[in-house]
Amino acid sequence: MSEKQPPRILIADDEPLYLKTTGQLLRKAGFDCVCVSHAGAAIEKLEAEPFDLILSDLNMPGNLKLELLHQGRSNWPHIPLIVVTGVPSMPSAIESIRLGITDYLLKPVKYEDLLASVRRALAIPSRVFQRSESITAREQSELAKRFPNIVGASAPLMEILDIVDRIAETDVNVLITGESGTGKEVVAQTIHEHSLRSKENFQIIDCTAIPESLFESVLFGHVKGAFTGAVNDQEGLLKLADKGTAFFDEIGELPAASQSKLLRAIQESRFTPVGKSQAVQIDTRFVCATNRKLESEVSAGRFRGDLYYRLGVIHIELPPLRDRGDDVVLLAEHFLKLTLKKSGRELQFAPETLESLREYSWPGNIRELKNVIERAVALTRGETIEKTELPESLLNPPANLQHDSSGVAEGSRDEAIENAEYQYLTALLEKHEGNISQAAQQAGLSRQGLHKLLNKHNISAADFRS
Ligand SMILES: Nc1ncnc2c1ncn2[C@@H]1O[C@H](COP(=O)(O)OP(=O)(O)OP(=O)(O)O)[C@@H](O)[C@H]1O
């Protein structure tokens, strides 16, 4: 973007009235707009002239297969793209978010919302949208130095650190997904620590811990006497996140009514505490995490699409530990060092122990690995951690957790993982006769984490108790 020139916006839409009024309104707001009525013309313009932003309709001539989105994102990845559509459809919405659009607005769109979205998109440095080429060894070591809390050197982790590095200082909202224990909270905290908001609060908001009936009061606060039991004025969690980062953990668990209240607060950057008449303005960055597949939740109608787009401007998917190669060893060494720091002892892994750690499939991911190392250190009497100090469940995992190359691969990878997880959980509960604490301990999960997984698979621990 040139400093003297106003930002240039390309608007592509086949509704003449919308095209004309949007162009006029944005010009009035100080932008330089070029309006075209079909995808082909938009692509020609992009080839010929520089732009800072694309506003694109979905249903317009030449865009049957979302050509403008595909070409726009692959040929001009540095130009943010906002979809504005009158005919929302779930597949196109999901495809849009996959391609990395900046926002998804539904017509009729309020002028203030459009303007806010345009300003937000233009405030994001273009490098955020540029896909990284493969990361060089030098860049790798620089990333490792910049993020010492995130241990690992595998290619998938390096890609994540590269994204974190590019987005941390911007104000974009981030959605972090991944299985339980993959490090979502660690990544969220790291984004905050490397942001311009690092001196302010990193406010964790655990969506599973807020009863639906208290959502507004906990999030937005309340005044004394607003409802029975409101004996004092209470500031809400969002106010505590003002100027800082609000981290919504387990956002996928948020009930529908709470989703709309949160969406409104995010869209307007303000909310009204319960019992008050005046709204409170906030300046907060939103980072969210979930181990659910939010896209499927949106398709199934359980999660609002508009909230999903608003939160997931940047989507970081953390790989499970089993897909991170030798990171297992690096993390094991890291947790060994951490554990020994407390005791002052000196210990090392036997080569066979490391081999077993490498071979295991880690359903509880990094949290499970951390627990296994702490347990092994506690059990080891000599100077070497032998394989025998590893839990039996790790050395002889249930058949469904072993890698069997002779088996016929059925279904998608996601289905296979879901099945394996289901089998693992039922075997685990059977072994511990429905005792959640013991089962969670073995799986390397928190009790809450295990409850969530059981809910996901509709498994009741009570069925395993005698
Ligand atoms: N890359 C990493 N380097 C070092 N420690 C890590 C890393 N990732 C995660 N951990 C550690 O693993 C444990 C689990 O991480 P975290 O709580 O961030 O996972 P999560 O994905 O948020 O889990 P859940 O979905 O159950 O809330 C924590 O003790 C964390 O410190």
b/e 146-172 (16+ beta carbons within 10 angstroms → b): ebeebbbbbeebbbbbbbbbbbbebbb
The enclosing domain of 292 has a CATH number of: 3.40.50.300
315 and 354 together in one domain = no
Per-residue pLDDT of the chain (466 residues; tens, 9 = 90+): 445 678 999 999 999 989 999 999 999 989 999 999 999 999 999 999 999 999 999 888 888 778 898 888 888 888 888 988 887 666 666 666 667 677 888 888 888 888 888 988 887 765 555 555 567 777 788 888 899 999 999 989 998 998 888 888 878 889 999 998 999 999 999 999 999 999 999 999 999 888 888 888 999 998 888 777 777 888 899 999 999 999 999 999 898 889 999 999 998 889 999 988 899 999 999 999 998 888 888 888 889 988 888 887 788 999 999 999 889 999 999 999 999 987 778 899 999 999 999 999 998 999 999 999 999 999 999 899 999 999 988 888 766 555 444 445 566 667 777 778 888 888 888 888 888 888 888 888 887 788 888 887 878 787 777 6
Q: Which of 160, 207, 365, 366 for a ligand 1 pocket mutation test, highest count of atoms within 8 Å of Cβ?
A: 366
What DSSP state is assigned to residue 274?
A: B
Encode pLDDT of 20-77 as tens digits: 999 999 999 899 999 999 999 999 999 999 999 999 998 888 887 788 988 888 888 8
If one counts every other C-beta atom within 10 angstroms of the C-beta of residue 138, the result is: 8
Residue nearest atom 13 of ligand 1, based on CA coordinates: 367
CA distance 283 to 369: 37
What is the identity of the amino acid at 88? P
Could you tell me the residue range of the domain that residue 345 belongs to? Answer: 322-397
Residue nearest atom 1 of ligand 1, based on CA coordinates: 150
- ipTM of the shown complex: 0.98
* Full-model pTM: 0.69
What's the full length of the chain, in residues?
466
Give distance in angstroms: CA of 64 to centre of ligand 1: 42
CA distances from 463 to 186, 293, 430 (A): 34, 27, 9
Residues flanking ligand 1, CB < 6 Å? 150-152, 178, 180-186, 289, 291, 331, 334, 366-367, 370, 449
Nearest alpha-carbon partner for 295 in 59, 70, 71, 104: 104
CA distance 447 to 438: 9
113 and 124 together in one domain = yes
Burial of residue 28, with CB atoms counted within 10 A of its CB: 0-12 exposed, 13-18 middle, 19 or more buried: exposed
Give the end of a domain, one of 129, 158, 188. Answer: 129
175 and 312 together in one domain = yes
DSSP codes, 288-315: EEESS-HHHHHHTTSS-HHHHHHH-SEE
DSSP codes, 165-230: HHHTTS---EEEE-STTSSHHHHHHHHHHTSTTTTS-EEEEEGGGS-GGGHHHHHHEE-TTSSTT-
The enclosing domain of 328 has a CATH number of: 1.10.8.60
347 and 242 together in one domain = no
CA distance 32 to 45: 14
CA distance 117 to 14: 21
Residue with tokens 């974190």: 164
Give distance in angstroms: CA of 123 to centre of ligand 1: 31
Residue nearest atom 23 of ligand 1, based on CA coordinates: 181
207 and 281 together in one domain = yes
If one counts every other C-beta atom within 10 angstroms of the C-beta of residue 222, the result is: 22
302 and 417 together in one domain = no
Give distance in angstroms: CA of 367 to centre of ligand 1: 6
311 and 190 together in one domain = yes
Q: Which of 367, 368, 450 for a ligand 1 pocket mutation test, highest count of atoms within 8 Å of Cβ?
A: 367
Number of domains in the chain: 4
